[in-house]
């Protein structure tokens, strides 16, 4: 069920091109194709900036001193984790927590005086300029009330004022993919795609401004970054009944179809649904479902990583893991579970690769140029074999020309990229 043939991937790529065209033309479709009001940096951007990165597993704040010579900046940063309550209450609670976190960072790092800040907000935002944008809709399980349809920069500024955090000026707003592309392109001028493979997934790329046929706000550069919101892609996907089940139980049914097949928030749940189904049929665990698989969301993608790392011929590591979690498992159960894990993650990596290939091949069908794809996110960084399977898929699709698609991990990209954008937009 989870195998995806090269023909299927090619059909997906063709469908993706059509959805891109529609999105750029402002026609109805599954790709929002959101203008980001920024083009890749020159590499000469310099100076100290704050960067706030909000919307993944953790909130991150960075102080970045850009050197202006295409090298990695000096970064000083802190992390903090929002609670489930904070992401599901309302705008005041959410942005209040962020503002207090920023205040604490400035105090502990002794940063006084005016600070310019770039703001990475890892959700779909509708922008009309670089320094403001409204949230189109939450994803990844976030649900805070009173944010959809509002300018998130204004919400942040208000919270900073209410919490008495003075001196911080938000000069730019960007999606995390845009931040990643900007960080990648700051380091390497061949970088023209930014990709997140983490809790959620999404891709942005560099487009000719003239190709954006829907109305665009004031912007005078020849190229502009487009946030495709590829996680919402929903045409020619090889969905199974387990994907439909997962969708029905999610916070945003009917949306983010591709993300639900690819990203870290969902892979564990997909495996859990398959295992529960096969167990109910009586073919696993003697028909008694272990507690590990009993609760929706209870089997996380970290578990998949552990199982994936088990390369023993008989899945002994997986058997041990099942034993630790309680419940009686036989060696056959462990081998089956590992096979399910490999199938679900394999499909995810193949789809992730095909969607990237679709984006690059829209403007370069012959893959004549080198495209460095900046990638950030826990799934790509930490999941055993994910990157290798993506590269294998590129080769399957393009043979030798696949060498033109170069995956480049940019860790902290979405954070330091916000500083690059802040610098690029401050200098006009």
Report how far Cα 363 is from the mean position of its chain's Cα atoms.
22
Find the DSSP H helices in 26-162: 84-88, 91-108, 152-162
Q: Does 260 bind ligand BGC (CB under 6 A)?
A: no
Q: Does 133 bind ligand BGC (CB under 6 A)?
A: no
Among 199-207, 214-222, 321-329, 367-375, the segment contacting ligand BGC (CB under 6 A)? 199-207
> DSSP secondary-structure letter at 151?
B
- Of 115, 202, 301, 378, the one binding ligand BGC by CB under 6 A: 202
Q: How many residues does the chain have?
A: 428
Contact string (CB under 6 A) for ligand BGC, positions 53-92, x = contact: --xx------------------------------------
Distance CA 232, CA 32 (A): 8
C-alpha distances out from residue 240 to 37, 201, 261, 266, Å: 38, 20, 10, 14
Cβ nearer to ligand BGC, comparing 196 with 304: 196
For tokens 């990475």, the residue is: 120
Taking the CA atoms of 210, 181, 120 and 346 in sequence, report the sign of the dihedral they define.
Answer: positive
Report how far Cα 212 is from the mean position of its chain's Cα atoms.
23
Gyration radius from the chain CA atoms: 22
DSSP letters, 129-147, are: ETTEEEEEE--TT---BT-
Q: Does 196 bind ligand BGC (CB under 6 A)?
A: yes
Taking the complex as a whole, how short is the minimal distance between the CB of residue 178 and ligand BGC, in angstroms?
A: 9
Q: Does 376 bind ligand BGC (CB under 6 A)?
A: no
Q: Cβ distance 171 to 28 under 8 Å?
A: no
- Of 53, 259, 310, 412, the one binding ligand BGC by CB under 6 A: 259
Tell me the number of residues near ligand BGC by CB under 6 A: 18
Q: Does 200 bind ligand BGC (CB under 6 A)?
A: yes
Cβ nearer to ligand BGC, comparing 52 with 168: 52
Question: Phi then psi for 216, rounded to 5 degrees?
Answer: -125, 145
Cβ nearer to ligand BGC, comparing 43 with 194: 194
Contact string (CB under 6 A) for ligand BGC, positions 98-127, x = contact: ------------------------xxx---
Distance CA 31, CA 229 (A): 6
With 0-12 CB in 10 A as exposed, 13-18 as middle and 19+ as buried, what is 217? Answer: exposed
C-alpha distances out from residue 177 to 55, 229, 373, Å: 12, 9, 11
Cβ nearer to ligand BGC, comparing 12 with 124: 124
For tokens 């509002």, the residue is: 150
Taking the complex as a whole, how short is the minimal distance between the CB of residue 148 and ligand BGC, in angstroms?
A: 12
Cβ nearer to ligand BGC, comparing 115 with 177: 177
Q: Does 417 bind ligand BGC (CB under 6 A)?
A: no
Among 61-69, 91-99, 101-109, 193-201, the segment contacting ligand BGC (CB under 6 A)? 193-201
CB nearest ligand BGC: which residue? Answer: 200
Taking the complex as a whole, how short is the minimal distance between the CB of residue 110 and ligand BGC, in angstroms?
A: 31
Q: Cβ distance 134 to 153 under 8 Å?
A: no
Q: Does 176 bind ligand BGC (CB under 6 A)?
A: yes
Cβ nearer to ligand BGC, comparing 247 with 310: 247
Q: Cβ distance 383 to 345 under 8 Å?
A: yes
Q: Does 139 bind ligand BGC (CB under 6 A)?
A: yes
Taking the complex as a whole, how short is the minimal distance between the CB of residue 227 and ligand BGC, in angstroms?
A: 7
- Of 120, 177, 301, 345, the one binding ligand BGC by CB under 6 A: 177
Binding interface with ligand BGC (CB under 6 A):
55-56, 122-124, 139-140, 175-177, 196, 198, 200-202, 229, 231, 259
């Amino acid at each position: 069920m989870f195998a995806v043939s090269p023909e299927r991937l090619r059909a997906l790529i063709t469908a993706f091109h059509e959805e891109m065209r529609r999105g750029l033309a402002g026609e109805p479709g599954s790709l929002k194709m959101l203008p980001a009001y920024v083009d890749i940096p020159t590499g000469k951007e310099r100076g100290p900036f704050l960067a706030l990165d909000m919307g993944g597993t953790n909130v991150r704040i960075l102080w970045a001193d850009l050197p202006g010579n295409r090298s990695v900046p000096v970064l000083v940063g802190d992390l903090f984790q929002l609670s489930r309550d904070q992401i599901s209450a309302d705008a005041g609670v959410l942005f209040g927590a962020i503002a207090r976190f920023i205040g604490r960072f400035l105090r502990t790092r002794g940063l006084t005086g005016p600070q310019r800040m770039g703001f990475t907000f890892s959700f779909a935002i509708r922008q009309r300029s670089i320094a403001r944008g409204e949230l189109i809709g939450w994803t990844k399980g976030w649900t805070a009330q009173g944010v959809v349809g509002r300018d998130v920069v204004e919400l942040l500024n208000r919270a900073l004022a209410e919490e008495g955090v003075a001196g911080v000026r938000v000069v730019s707003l960007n999606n995390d993919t845009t931040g990643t592309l900007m960080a990648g392109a700051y380091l390497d001028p061949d970088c023209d795609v930014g990709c997140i493979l983490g809790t959620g997934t999404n891709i942005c790329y560099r487009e000719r401004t003239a190709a954006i046929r829907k109305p665009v706000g004031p912007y005078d550069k020849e190229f502009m970054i487009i946030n495709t919101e590829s996680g919402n892609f929903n045409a020619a996907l090889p969905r199974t009944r387990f994907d439909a089940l997962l969708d029905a139980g999610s916070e945003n049914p009917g949306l983010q179809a591709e993300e639900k097949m690819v990203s870290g928030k969902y892979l564990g749940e997909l495996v859990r649904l398959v295992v529960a189904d096969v167990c109910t049929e009586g073919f696993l665990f003697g028909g008694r479902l272990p507690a590990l698989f009993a609760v929706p969301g209870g089997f996380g993608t970290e578990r998949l990583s552990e199982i994936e790392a088990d390369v023993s011929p008989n899945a002994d590591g997986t058997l041990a893991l099942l034993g630790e979690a309680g419940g009686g498992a036989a060696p056959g159960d462990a081998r089956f579970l590992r096979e399910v894990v490999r199938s679900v993650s394999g499909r995810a990596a193949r789809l992730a690769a095909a969607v990237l290939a679709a984006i690059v091949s829209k403007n370069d069908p012959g893959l004549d140029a080198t495209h460095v794809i900046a990638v950030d996110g826990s799934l790509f960084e930490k999941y055993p074999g994910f990157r290798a399977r993506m590269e294998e898929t590129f080769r399957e699709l393009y043979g030798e020309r696949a060498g033109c698609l170069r995956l480049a991990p940019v860790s902290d990209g979405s954070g330091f990229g916000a500083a690059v954008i802040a610098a690029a937009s401050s200098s006009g």
